Structure 1
Amino acid sequence: MKWQGRRKSGNLEDRRGMGNKGKVVAGGGIVAVVVILLQLFGGETGQQLAPLIEQVGNSQTTQQVEQRELTAEEEKMGDFMGTVLADTENIWSQVFRENNLGNYKEPKMVLFTDAVSTGCGNASSASGPFYCPAGQKIYMDLVFFDELQSRFGAKGGDFAIAYVTAHEVGHHIQTILGTSSKVRQLQSQASKTEANRLSVAQELQADFYAGVWAHYNKQYLEAGDIDEALSAANAVGDDAIQKRTRGSVSPDSFTHGTSQQRKEWFMKGYTTGDIRQGDTFSALLN
């Protein structure tokens, strides 16, 4: 992705290097649950995952806070994230205008290491990227992307990171358009299986929105960028994750969609660039 020398967002808050030293963590089982859930790409954390995050946060005792200088590579990554976030601001402001959706309210992004306090509870570095509707902020621990390659087998490359960022921005769009609140209401009245299906539709729509963003950002894409995004989507499908962690697949427990579904909805957004074609709920639930 061509990103150097371009505008960086003013909505980026860099808390990296401000980690917790001497942290004592109890209850490793719940940490493992959060890793499995959130490493599928966080999602609408406020309703579904905040209790888990809070439980992790409450199970650890911080003895001391330390701060260090960021390395040159970390500084570069911060600049990259600021540029990607700026691109999402430019593009979604345009898409909202073109589709008479009102003014686009920009989210904020927090980069962190080790642990972070959010409006949805305390999160550890195991949380991976996630969106918290309370405060409308995206939280990113960039170490996640190393694990995306080493543990989940995704290709490297900066556009995999851009795709995940755009996916989390997709959850922000669902929040400001009212989709997320409607999903929560329906889930509160649904069976566990049906609630999971609603979650899958919501996550796939966020993938679709990421594809729409990539469509409008073509002028900055380079050869191989879309392959990097598809590799990341493939690596974190529910079926791929369950095969690695359980050795078997349970479709009724899916919350984010299969690898194939995630790739297909991203590509639909990328090829059409039309936000009106992202009704994953009708496609999956009818």
Structure 2
Amino acid sequence: MRWKGRRGSGNVEDRRSFRTAGRSMRFPMPRGKTTRRGGGIGLGGIVVVLLISWVTGVNPLTLLGLDQGQSYDSGPQQSSTTATSPRSDETAKFVSVVLADTENTWNDLLAQNGMTYPEPKLVLFSDAVRSACGQASSAVGPFYCSQDSKIYIDLTFYRQLANQLQAPGDFAQAYVLAHEVGHHLQNVLGVLPEFHKARRGMSERDANALSVRVELQADCFAGIWAHFAAQQQGFVEDGDIEEALNAASRIGDDTLQKQARGYVVPESFNHGTSEQRVRWFREGFKSGRIQACDTFSTDRL
């Protein structure tokens, strides 16, 4: 991607210069194939955590028992840096540019449908963070909190994306962010509130099946953003879309479960298979239409 020199978003909060107050969760990152003591997670376990967390931007903290619907006082978390001015490192600049481009896309598309697009905030953090959905460590991976309309990311995740999940490249990184923005769009359109309401009365298996549809729609929305990004002269380069497709393939439920366990449990899927994730990203990329991302009315995902 040729992103340098492009507009960055004003909706970035850089909280990396401090640690959250109070007790924080700890999921030690593995080194090599060792297993950490005291409930730490080995390589296979962390892959599963990464799968169940960053791709569940709907509200991943539910999976860790932290979805309490509580708001946390952000007073102790005030940074010495300006809240809307990300640090001048390359990755922070990059995600700011990508976020700005998603803002352009969704502002334009929603305006065409007579709607306004309340832009999400992107929170950069290190190690641990508090959101309106609860407190999380960086091992949770990028996530979207529908209760404060913010996307949270520890930028070190991108090293894990490239090395552990074997999905390198700047457009793979952009896809991750665009997927989380897709969850924000679902919140704006009313999809997430309906999902949260519906799953309360469902069995775990049925809730997982509905979650797959939510996640695949977010992938499709990410594809729509890529559709319009590719139309901009000098922005998307050869091979970029393939990077996104590779990332979508690498984080399918079947692929990661097989990597972590050696076998798959289809009834536990709640994000979609690799083939499904690739196909719905392609659908959004090919069509550029929100209507093409109706994952809830089709029998074949």
Instruction: Specify the TM-score bucket, using the shorter chain as the normaliser.
Output: 0.7 to 0.9
Q: 1:185 aligns with which of 179, 197, 203?
A: 197
1:43 to 57, 60, 84: 57
Instruction: Give the distance between the partners of 1:249 and 1:273, measured in 2 at CA.
Output: 33
What is the 5 A alignment of 1:214-229?
A: 214-218=226-230, 219=232, 220-229=235-244
Q: TM-score normalized by structure 1?
A: 0.86
1:163 to 160, 171, 175: 175
1:97 aligns to 2:117 (yes or no): no
Equivalent of 2:100 in 86, 89, 104:
86
Q: Answer yes or no: is the 8 Å Cα contact 1:213–1:273 preserved in 2.
A: yes
Structure 1 residue ranges (4+ consecutive) displaced by more than 6 angstroms after TM superposition: 20-24
Give the Cα separation in 2 of the matches to 1:76 and 1:152: 22
- Separation (CA, whole Å) in 2 of partners of 1:233 and 1:110: 23
CA contact 2:144–2:150 (8 Å) conserved in 1: yes
Number of residue pairs matched by the alignment: 268
TM-score of the pair, normalised by structure 2: 0.82
| In 2: Cα distance, 1:180 partner to 1:24 partner | 26
Say whether the 8 Å CA contact 1:205–1:278 is kept in structure 2. yes
Bigger strand fraction: 1
Question: Which letter maps to 2:99?
Answer: L
Match of 1:4 in 2: 4
Question: Identity percentage over the alignment?
Answer: 48
Partner of residue 140, structure 1: 153
Contact 1:239/1:259 (8 A) holds in 2 = yes
User: CA–CA distance in 2 between the matches of 1:209 and 1:103?
Assistant: 17
For 1:204, what is the secondary structure of its paired residue?
Answer: helix
Task: Quote how far apart the aligned CAs of 1:46 are.
Answer: 6.6
Aligned to 2:120: 107
Offset of residue 35 of structure 1: 3.8
For residue 143 of structure 1, report the CA deviation from its aligned partner. Answer: 1.2
Q: Which moved more, 1:184-193 or 1:255-264?
A: 184-193
**Counterpart of 1:57?**
none
Q: Structure 1 pair 28/284, CA: closer, same or farther in 2 (3 Å)?
A: farther
Which residue of structure 2 lines up, in the alignment, with residue 273 of structure 1?
A: 288
Instruction: Return 202-211 or 12-21, whichever deviates more.
Output: 12-21
Partners of 2:265 and 2:138 in 1: CA distance:
27
Contact 2:105 2:225 in 1 (8 A): yes
Task: Provide closer, same or farther for how the CA distance between residues 181 and 20 of structure 1 changes in structure 2, counting only shifts above 3 A.
Answer: closer
**Can you list the C-alpha shifts for 1:229-268, whole angstroms capped at 9, x where unaligned?**
0111111000011001111111110010000000000010
Alignment partners' CA distance in 2, 1:129 and 1:242:
19
> Aligned equivalents of 1:224 and 1:249: distance in 2?
30
1:226 CA displacement: 0.4
1:173 aligns to 2:222 (yes or no): no
Which residue number in structure 1 is paired with residue 72 of structure 2?
none
Cα 1:23–1:174 shift into 2, 3 Å? closer
5 Å matches for 1:118-267? 118-154=131-167, 156-218=168-230, 219=232, 220-267=235-282
Over 3 Å counting, the alpha-carbon distance change for 1:97 and 1:126 in structure 2 is same
SS at match of 1:87: helix
Residue 48 of structure 1: how far off its partner (Å): 3.3
| Maintained 8 Å contact 1:237/1:262 | yes
CA drift at 1:180: 0.7
For structure 2, which runs of at least 5 residues remain unmatched after alignment? Answer: 27-37, 69-78, 82-86
* Residue equivalent to 2:84: none
Q: Structure 1's 148 and 24: CA in aligned 2 closer, same or farther, altered over 3 A?
A: closer
Structure 1: runs of 5 or more not aligned:
55-65
Secondary structure at 1:18 match in 2: coil
